[in-house]
Amino acid sequence: MSPYTLRWGIIATGKISGQFARDLLVDPSTREVSDVAHQITAVGSRSVESAQRFIDGLKKPGEGEPVAWGVKNGGLDKVRAHGSYDGVYNDPNVDAIYVGTPHNLHYQNTKDALLAGKHVLCEKPFTIDIEELDDLVAIAQQKNVFLMEAVWTRFHPIAYAVDEVIRSGKLGKPKRFAADFSMEYDLDSKPDSNRFIDPALGGGSLLDMGPYPSVWAMLLVHRNPHNKDQTPNVVSSHQSIYKRSGVDLDSRWIVEWDGLCRGILTTDLTAPGLRENTAVVQCEEGDLIIEYPPQKPETFHIIPRPDRYIGSIKEKTTHHHPVHAGNHGMSYEADEVARCIRDGKIQSERMPWEESKVVQRWFDSVRKNGDSATKGMKGSVGH
């Protein structure tokens, strides 16, 4: 039986769109997939020339590059360059659209695609605020089309391995949680237009980096069988400000799952992050620790509690689950989109709308209770 092939349109031609497109062209069998496949049938940019340059770059992979498989096997045979995003929305040879534009454009680009009847995978953060996200979900429901936030980490091999540990119950009830995404990013050397510096682009650490500590909060605590609270709230937050533009240098927030535990989540542009402890859930019987980096970790550890508080976990074990060779890691979420669309679903059970809304509300709370230049930033709903 031949695989279900999803025809993709790519919106924007920046670095992240390029990486996603290259992953679409990698041989699915290299990640043990045989039921779905991908084609790129349209690319949209601000000019036809820009879109064509993007396509030409994909068509000329370097020697030994995994994308050569897709070029050779028809992954770009029907691709068309469009000098506008509207051209992609209205292209009859496109089933699903990948939105890889800056944060502040996600809502409008996704809305336009949904209204055109296209399925959508939108980069994180999904939107600027919860009102935008609620509107997009309503449109997807009305149009009966698939919609998902591109939280790629949820679909990596390590995420499924961690799920098995959490569901097994061997760790017991969570007692506390912490996750961090930090990187030493030299803001002073960057122009005012840099996406981390410009408030109009949703700059700062929170919106850009926040999805990564949040994904581990969702996988380790929110989806934990012991959790009954589906609307955990931020109970405290703090932001440090980059004076040049007013965006947040770092954000820290505490989330409470009622009746279970609290967790602290951190984003920071001033420090490199902890090598062996990017996320940890401490439980009754032992702890689970995720190694850096939070967006694409390969290794986690299960370790005993301190001797004074010993639980049923007696020895440290290390578990290594890298992304398959040749894949950057975005291919897995593309496979999920293809399977959901093939099966007639309009949302993913692994990345459901309600969980995107939980995280979006956290970001809204931290932003509105801080002093950054994005504090009063509002989405485009009703404008």
Q: What is the pLDDT of residue 62?
A: 83
How far, CA to CA in Å, does 223 sit from each of 167, 217, 349? 9, 9, 12
Return the pLDDT at 146. Answer: 98
CATH number of the domain residue 126 falls in: 3.40.50.720
Closest to 352 in 3D by CA, of 114, 140, 209, 175: 140
Is the domain of 133 the same as that of 207?
A: no
**136 shares a domain with 181:** no
Question: Looking at the domain assignment, is residue 164 inside a domain?
Answer: yes
Element housing 325 (H / E): none
Q: Tell me, yes or no, whether 67 and 206 share the same domain.
A: no
Range(s) of the domain holding residue 35: 4-151+328-347
Q: How far apart are CA 178 and CA 102, in angstroms?
A: 28
- Residue 82 pLDDT: 98
Is 145 part of any domain?
A: yes
Return the CATH number at 247.
Answer: 3.30.360.10
Q: How far apart are CA 70 and CA 59, in angstroms?
A: 9
Residue 120 sits in the same domain as residue 170: no
pLDDT at 126: 96
- Give the global pTM: 0.96
- What does the angle CA 296 – CA 299 – CA 300 come to, to the nearest 5 degrees? 115
- pLDDT in the model for residue 13: 96
Whether 27 maps to a domain, the answer reads yes
What are the residue ranges of helices labelled H in the chain?
A: 15-24, 48-59, 68-72, 85-89, 106-115, 130-143, 157-168, 205-209, 211-217, 331-342, 353-368
The reported pLDDT for the residue numbered 179 is 98
Number of independent structural domains in the chain: 2
pLDDT of residue 369: 97
Report, as ranges of residue numbers, the positions in the chain whose pLDDT lies below 50: none
